[in-house]
Structure 1
Amino acid sequence: MPQPHRVQSGILVNLDSPVLFDCGSGVLPRLLNCASIGHVFLTHLHLDHVADVMSLIKAKWLCESHDLRIYGPSGTREWISRVFDAYPYMLGRMNIEVFEMADQDRVSLGRYEIICAKTAHGMPSLGYGIADEEGRVRVVYSGDTEPVKSIAVLGNGADLLIHECSFPDSVPDVTNHTTPRMLGEMMAGVAVGRIILTHLYPHTIGFEDEMVATVHEYCGCDVTIGEDMETVVLDSGP
């Protein structure tokens, strides 16, 4: 949920070219060169993850960058069609391809491969892993989800897991999302280099240090709270 120093969900990964994962409200103004983005991967279709997609499409058109591939779970193609129905003046102005993905589907992007993992969010939803040219998964992004084995398996051996942690443990009966203890229990014994906690609801304000400590207690790896415009640089690997 937006706060004065935060916007909604969006993660830009520089592979051979920039790839955007989710595009919630406020993400577009944070993109320094939206024309360079040719691939967008959506974890699910809730508004806080897709609100700026149409704004991105129009911005690319205004920049005379007319090609865009959008990947997402079941329902993505119909959603895009309905968005264009609301803005018919944009029809035919862009070359947009939409791909509906499923668990374990893979997309090759130059030297890298995007791996899809089914998640649990009460609607069709996916997490994504990014594998290098050696086939090793380097980064995993959960999107919104309850703890699921597919993300833990995908993250085993990864350098970085970006995982939602929407509520502190003091909020009871959390479903469709994850708390620190739930995440820690899921990742206990999983070899991951670092975990960044994202998708923080206002309920987490004031509990950030406690949340980090709880996840670290289970996992033993470096755990931090994600910050808007934060840059993480991974080494080239072994």
Structure 2
Amino acid sequence: MLEVIFLGTGGIMPTRERNVPAIALRYNGEILLFDAGEGTVRQMNTAGLSPMKVDKIFITHFHGDHYLGLAALIQTMNLWNRERPLHIYGPKYTFEFVQNFLKTGFFRPGFDIHIHELGESRLKFNGYEVWSFGVEHGVPALGYVFKERDKRGKFLPEKLARYGLSGGPVLGKLEREGRIEWKGRIIHLEDVTGPRRRGVKVAYTGDTRPTERVRLFSEGADLLIHDATYLSPEHRGDSYHSTVGEACEVARRCSAKLLALFHRAFRYSYEEYLEGARFHCGDVNFLVPRDFDVLTHRAGKFDVRNLLEDGG
């Protein structure tokens, strides 16, 4: 099962209702963290998520609202006697920035921290991949894609019967090896299964102007989390952010199934922003996430609930 937990949905500075960016993605018991603005430890505690289950942190860029919670996260892990290594991924200068704050104050972590500077990369893990790609924000900055690996099709009883297969260890071997010899015949896995099932795809842009590269990497996403800081170009000015209308257009062009409008500027109330999104997005299936909203992927779509409203 895959869950996306919005720990902080605001932009630039925290408000009474929302914290700065941090998104937890929970997959098969593992928690991946995308950005870690100030207060992320508190947000995780409120959401019932343990920092000790985080082994990988992906930072989009080094503006304070996206990374200042890293030091507190690492110190919390150390306080709880963490032993497993922690991997931190980010754009150019990640090594320099992380090393600098690790030397601040009377603190040294008691576990290994591995720092990875990425360009356009494709990282392979157990059951999923994380892709990184450049975005346009005026400083070195990345977007990320979580892509669950495609799964084999289901075993089809009528095809199994055709080859005289009924289950048990022989099917386990076929699944592991992709082919077996059975009663003098070579049987391939695809001979007895249905179409492959596409893995879930979640794209997160971080802060960016709308770009063709964002569209390409987000193509066909089940969930696109796109910078939508402002409601109008006039409010944005010359900053390297996107408007709600621009984010909706990217989602429309890349055929995203669901768009999460992210990094809402503190000048907008939820109601004002939602009204603007309804005006701009038209036929796009969109969501204005709140802190502690949880998106759970079931049966090909995301269900939404809020941890605070639903009691956890």
Q: Residues 94, 236 of structure 1: CA spacing in aligned structure 2 closer, same or farther, 3 A cutoff?
A: farther
Q: Aligned match of 2:69 in 43, 52, 59?
A: 52
Q: Quick one: distance in 2 between partners of 1:111 and 1:194?
A: 23
Q: Aligned match of 1:71 in 83, 89, 96?
A: 89
DSSP-derived class of the 2:114 partner: strand
Partner residue of 1:131?
147
Check the 8 A contact 1:70/1:97 in 2, yes or no: yes
Instruction: Report matched runs for 1:1-238 at 5 Å.
Output: 1-16=13-28, 17-31=30-44, 32-66=49-83, 67-90=85-108, 93-103=110-120, 105-134=121-150, 136=199, 138-169=201-232, 170-171=234-235, 173-205=237-269, 207-217=272-282, 220-235=283-298, 237=300
Greater relative contact order, per chain length (Cα 8 Å cut-off, separation 6+): 2
Check the 8 A contact 1:24/1:48 in 2, yes or no: yes
DSSP-derived class of the 2:139 partner: coil
Amino acid at match of 2:276: M
DSSP-derived class of the 1:29 partner: helix
Cα displacement (A) at 1:6 = 0.8
Pick which of 82-91 and 12-21 moved more.
82-91
Q: Quick one: distance in 2 between partners of 1:48 and 1:156?
A: 27
Q: Quick one: distance in 1 between partners of 2:293 and 2:62?
A: 24
Cα displacement (A) at 1:194 = 0.6
Sequence identity percentage: 25
Provide Cα deviations, 1:140-174, integer angstroms capped at 9, x if missing partner. 01101111112211222111011111111151534
Check the 8 A contact 2:37/2:65 in 1, yes or no: yes
Q: Quick one: distance in 2 between partners of 1:52 and 1:24?
A: 5
Cα displacement (A) at 1:236 = 5.9
Q: Residues 75, 214 of structure 1: CA spacing in aligned structure 2 closer, same or farther, 3 A cutoff?
A: farther
Check the 8 A contact 1:137/1:157 in 2, yes or no: no
Cα displacement (A) at 1:224 = 1.5
Unaligned runs of 5+ in 2: 1-12, 151-197, 302-312
- Which of these two proteins has the greater Rg computed from alpha carbons? 2
Q: Quick one: distance in 1 between partners of 2:77 and 2:60?
A: 21
Q: Quick one: distance in 1 between partners of 2:281 and 2:253?
A: 12
Q: Quick one: distance in 2 between partners of 1:237 and 1:73?
A: 32
Q: Quick one: distance in 2 between partners of 1:189 and 1:51?
A: 34
- TM normalised by structure 1 equals 0.91
Q: What is the number of equivalent residue pairs in this alignment?
A: 234
Unaligned runs of 5+ in 1: none
Amino acid at match of 2:128: Y
Cα displacement (A) at 1:9 = 0.6
Check the 8 A contact 1:215/1:223 in 2, yes or no: no
Provide Cα deviations, 1:51-107, integer angstroms capped at 9, x if missing partner. 11011001111112232100000000000111122135315x22100000002x011
- TM normalised by structure 2 equals 0.71
